[in-house]
Amino acid sequence: TLLASPEGRQLGGERRTLTILISDLRGFSTLCEGLGPEQVVAILNIYLGAMAEVIGEYRGSINEFIGDAILAVFGAPVPQEDHPERAVACAIAMQRAMGRVNAELAEHGLPALEMGIGVHTGEVVVGNIGSNKRAKYGVVGRHVNLTSRIESYTVGGQVLISESAARALGDRLRTRGCFEVRPKGVREPITIHDVTGVDGPFAIHMTEEPAEWRVLAEPQP
Amino acid sequence: TLLASPEGRQLGGERRTLTILISDLRGFSTLCEGLGPEQVVAILNIYLGAMAEVIGEYRGSINEFIGDAILAVFGAPVPQEDHPERAVACAIAMQRAMGRVNAELAEHGLPALEMGIGVHTGEVVVGNIGSNKRAKYGVVGRHVNLTSRIESYTVGGQVLISESAARALGDRLRTRGCFEVRPKGVREPITIHDVTGVDGPFAIHMTEEPAEWRVLAEPQP
């Protein structure tokens, strides 16, 4: 049948609405060029270790580290009613944790890092994906790609989230405003929100911002 | 010291010239929309299982499955003198194996897949990368990103390789020609070769091509 592999292994697969978080370092490849290989690995491990800890605190599930990028999901494998809120609060906590990461890097004489994060809520297929030797719980579908596109619009220190994630948070979301983009391979323009904080049970906000940012806190025309 | 994590764990890191192979399915996210979740996972596992087998035959090392994409390296962790040739021959073997994959999918009433592959040789940093709980042998650096860019230019059934990979194969490389592209974030335009076969010890060629392709086998003006 469809559900059995040629080797008789049972295959699963389920459609689930999840919140996907993708983070990436800005300019890390360029930074690497000027560093020794031990330094590159040391930086990555300090950074990834700190981020994994934050994601664990918010009960997110790390799907993969891809070089300096992290793909995490909220709402799977264990269902979570509040997955959009957890993911957005987690993204802010990750940005806040970068202060500690950069302080630790500085102690070792290593350069500071800047990270961007994209968060999006959408329906994906989850299941054990891979070959016989290396199958693992994974997520696939266009919403994973879309999260990656959203992340690609970030600058260092930023958390950008989709309209669907923003809607789930409602009036508990604090933003600097929103803007429209038309990612490659996406038919309609999408609205992206530039997050500064979350109110409510997961209350967390970005650390103190420069005064000129607050002036720009209204949606741009 | 730099080489010890805060927990005293020893961190490695080494600069190595490797050949990187990235494959991806064309239009898979769109295809998924019309399928049941069990079918999506069944398709992926048949496809990834077959590709993992081919990569194993050529002694490549699968670094990750990222949804329907595969990142594999040749020349690490075990050094291989002939890594560019192995990787290019492997890419052709993967394309040839798609015939079997699609026949198996058709038997199950599943739609056919089309895959593109990018191959590039360059210097990367390798090491055990990740957090304490999930570190694994990984590769980072701009040449990994560049391989992904090269792959993004493929259409289904195509193997595109960089100038550095092509140079390593010399006159054992058979191509349909080459073209210049200027990927986002890359300063100089790069030359990409459209591979049809490899001669020499790893001799392998694409299966029979339509006659009109052969007419176009010269470099385009």
- DSSP code, position A133: S
Q: How far is B127 from chain A (nearest CA, A)?
A: 7
DSSP bridge partners of A18:
A122
Q: Taking residues B46-66, report their average pLDDT.
A: 95
Average confidence score pLDDT of chain B? 88
Q: How far is A218 from chain B (nearest CA, A)?
A: 31
Q: Are B116 and B158 in contact (CB under 8 A)?
A: yes
Helix (H), strand (E) at residue A99? helix A83-107
A212/B51: higher pLDDT: B51
Share of chain A above pLDDT 90, in %: 74
Q: How far is A173 from chain B (nearest CA, A)?
A: 30
Residue B209: pLDDT over 60: no
Q: What pLDDT is recorded for position A162? A: 97
Q: What pLDDT is recorded for position B134? A: 83
Q: What pLDDT is recorded for position B207? A: 82
Q: Taking residues A2-28, report their average pLDDT.
A: 75
Name chain B contacts of A45, Cβ cutoff 8 Å: 5, 11, 128-131, 135
Residue A8: pLDDT over 70: no
Q: What pLDDT is recorded for position A208? A: 57
Q: Taking residues A83-109, report their average pLDDT.
A: 96
pLDDT tens-digit readout, B151-180: 999 999 999 999 999 999 999 999 999 999
Residue B190: pLDDT over 60: yes
For residue A76, give every residue at least 6 positions away whose Cβ sits within 8 Å of its Cβ, in sequence order, or none. A16, A18, A61, A126, A137, A139
Q: Quick check: A3 and B38 CB within 8 A?
A: yes
Q: What pLDDT is recorded for position B29? A: 86
- Number of Cβ within 10 Å of residue B152's Cβ equals 16
List the one residue out of A108, A211, A215, A213 whose CA is nearest residue A157.
A213
Which domains are assigned to chain B?
14-203 (3.30.70.1230)
Q: What pLDDT is recorded for position B132? A: 83
ipTM of the complex: 0.84
| For residue A77, cis peptide bond before it (omega within 30 degrees of 0) | yes
List the one residue out of A158, A166, A76, A79 whose CA is nearest residue A120.
A166
Q: What pLDDT is recorded for position A128? A: 92
Q: What pLDDT is recorded for position B94? A: 98
Q: Which of B125, B153, B184 to mutate to test the interface with A (most CBs of A within 10 A)?
A: B125
Q: What pLDDT is recorded for position B3? A: 44
Q: Read off the pLDDT band of B107 (50, 70, 90).
A: very high
Q: What pLDDT is recorded for position A207? A: 82
Closest residue to A125, CB basis, from B5, B37, B139: B37
A87 at B interface, C-beta within 8 A: no
Closest residue to B37, CB basis, from A13, A32, A45: A13
List the one residue out of B84, B86, B81, B78 whose CA is nearest residue B19.
B84
B207 at A interface, C-beta within 8 A: no
B191 at A interface, C-beta within 8 A: no
List the one residue out of B170, B165, B210 whose CA is nearest residue B191.
B165
Closest residue to A52, CB basis, from B12, B41, B133: B133
Share of chain B above pLDDT 70, in %: 89
Helix (H), strand (E) at residue A71? strand A69-74
Q: What pLDDT is recorded for position A183? A: 84
pLDDT tens-digit readout, A149-207: 999 999 999 999 999 999 999 999 999 999 999 987 778 899 999 999 999 999 999 98
Share of chain B above pLDDT 90, in %: 74
Q: Read off the pLDDT band of A5 (50, 70, 90).
A: very low
Helix (H), strand (E) at residue A17? strand A14-25
Q: Read off the pLDDT band of B208 (50, 70, 90).
A: low
Tell which B residues from 15 to 44 touch A, by Cβ distance under 8 Å: 15, 28-30, 32-33, 36-42, 44
Q: Are B3 and B10 in contact (CB under 8 A)?
A: yes
Residue B218: pLDDT over 70: no
| DSSP 3-state of A59 | coil
Q: How many CB pairs under 8 A join A and B?
A: 179
Name the residue in chain A with its Cα closest to that of B138. A67
pLDDT tens-digit readout, B10-39: 457 999 999 999 999 998 988 888 899 999
| DSSP 3-state of B22 | strand
A219/B164: higher pLDDT: B164
Residue B2: pLDDT over 50: no
Beta strands in chain B (DSSP E): 14-25, 61-66, 69-74, 115-130, 135-140, 159-162, 173-181, 190-198, 204-205
B132 at A interface, C-beta within 8 A: yes
